[in-house]
Amino acid sequence: MQILTLGNELLRQKALPVKAIGPEYLKIAEELVNALHEGDGIGLAGPQIGIMERIFAIHVAGDTARVFINPSIIETSQETCKFEEGCLSVPGVYTDVVRPEAVKIQAWNEKGRAFTMEASGIVARVIQHEYDHLEGILFIDRISELKKNRILAKIAAKSEKAAAKQQD
């Protein structure tokens, strides 16, 4: 399973709501969780593997893998916190992002069962990061313009170097 990276148009598109959670979503969820494990990440959203639907999976250490379909974040804490984030679609980049400390989310799992979950700390963090992917938003959109430009310039320089190496 290939994980799409920065520059791919699909990462910038809004994912569509899932109309009905049929048995095929067991397989889609499994693919998502497998790709998440292969990439050694803690969260992965549909668009990152080219599935333009509102589905993401998270797997935080000490918990089981969880799948969220058609999620809505129904509450966020006023309290925010800063935490270093990375993304399988933006390899090699880690930067502090400020987000609400806690969230309440409503979603359906891969079996079509509705659930509501309150999360804080790392789980709240990864939920917000993955939810953003469904909106076409990346974590580097949530930092200062200056910092973002610096990161993009670094990525561009790196890929230029790689391209030059390939030509040699």
Active site residues: 130
Residue nearest to Zn ion (CB): 87
Q: Which of 69, 93, 85 is nearest to 124 (CA)?
A: 85
Tell whether residue 87 is a contact of Zn ion (CB under 5 A).
Answer: yes
> Which residue's structure tokens are 């148009």?
9
Considering the complex, state which of residue 28 and residue 44 has its C-beta at the smaller distance from Zn ion.
44
Tell whether residue 126 is a contact of Zn ion (CB under 5 A).
Answer: no
Compute the distance between CA of residue 97 and CA of residue 112 in angstroms, rounded to an integer: 32
Alpha helix locations (H) across 60-144? 121-134
Interface with Zn ion: number of residues (CB under 5 A): 1
Considering the complex, state which of residue 87 and residue 134 has its C-beta at the smaller distance from Zn ion.
87
Which tokens is 132 given? Answer: 């953003």
Tell whether residue 55 is a contact of Zn ion (CB under 5 A).
Answer: no
Considering the complex, state which of residue 32 and residue 87 has its C-beta at the smaller distance from Zn ion.
87
Q: Is 80 helix (H, G, I), strand (E, B) or coil?
A: strand
Residues making contact with Zn ion (CB under 5 A): 87
